[in-house]
């Protein structure tokens, strides 16, 4: 089992939106970074843990826990001409972009980016590294356990 931090802008899909979706599941669409795509394609497995992270908002941070609920499959938006995620170089026969489905496990208190930075145990966490802008990053099992404990307290 692996663990991930997956960023979503709450103005697009928030933890509350996820809680209201059918089966409390969303397709993690719109990933247009090859490294993030490769994480989904090559490493994510059904059941992997996900920290659902609100980004690009007033108070960014972990807003809940989810799980990967499908293997990677083509992102349908890459084929819709005129859509912001359209990719003219992608075809149904050779799709460039993938997504996985993510299902809510539980909404938690917001564990802000500012609070995450206060814990020396998380000093090497990718989200806290200067210049890290990836929307999907692996989370070390020790980081997962530490954060999970903080979210349960």
d(CA 117, CA 10): 21
Q: Measuring CA to CA, which residue among 30, 38, 33, 36 is closest to residue 11?
A: 30
Flag whether pLDDT at 153 surpasses 80.
no
Flag whether pLDDT at 2 surpasses 80.
yes
Res 85: pLDDT? 96
Q: Which two tokens stand for residue 67?
A: 């799980």
Q: What is the pLDDT of residues 9-67, one digit of tens each?
A: 999 999 999 999 999 999 999 999 999 999 999 999 999 999 999 999 999 999 999 99
Neighbours of 128 (CB within 10 A): 14
Domains assigned to the chain: 3-145 (3.10.590.10)
Q: pTM for the complete prediction?
A: 0.96
Q: What is the pLDDT of residues 107-136, one digit of tens each?
A: 999 999 999 999 999 999 999 999 888 999
d(CA 93, CA 108): 40
């Amino acid at each position: 089992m692996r663990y991930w931090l997956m960023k979503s802008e709450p103005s697009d899909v928030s933890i509350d939106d996820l809680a209201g979706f059918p089966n409390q599941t969303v397709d993690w669409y719109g990933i247009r970074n090859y490294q993030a795509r490769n994480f989904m394609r090559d490493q994510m497995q059904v059941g992997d843990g996900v920290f659902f992270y609100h980004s690009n908002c007033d108070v960014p941070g972990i807003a809940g826990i989810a799980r990967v609920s499908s293997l990677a499959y083509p992102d349908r938006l890459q084929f819709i001409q005129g859509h912001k995620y359209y990719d003219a170089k992608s075809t149904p026969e050779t799709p460039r972009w993938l997504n996985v489905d993510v299902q809510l496990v539980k909404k938690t208190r917001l564990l802000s980016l500012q609070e995450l930075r206060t814990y020396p145990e998380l000093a090497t966490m990718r989200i806290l590294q200067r210049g890290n802008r990836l929307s999907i990053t692996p989370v070390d099992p020790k980081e997962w356990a530490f954060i999970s404990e903080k979210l349960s307290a």
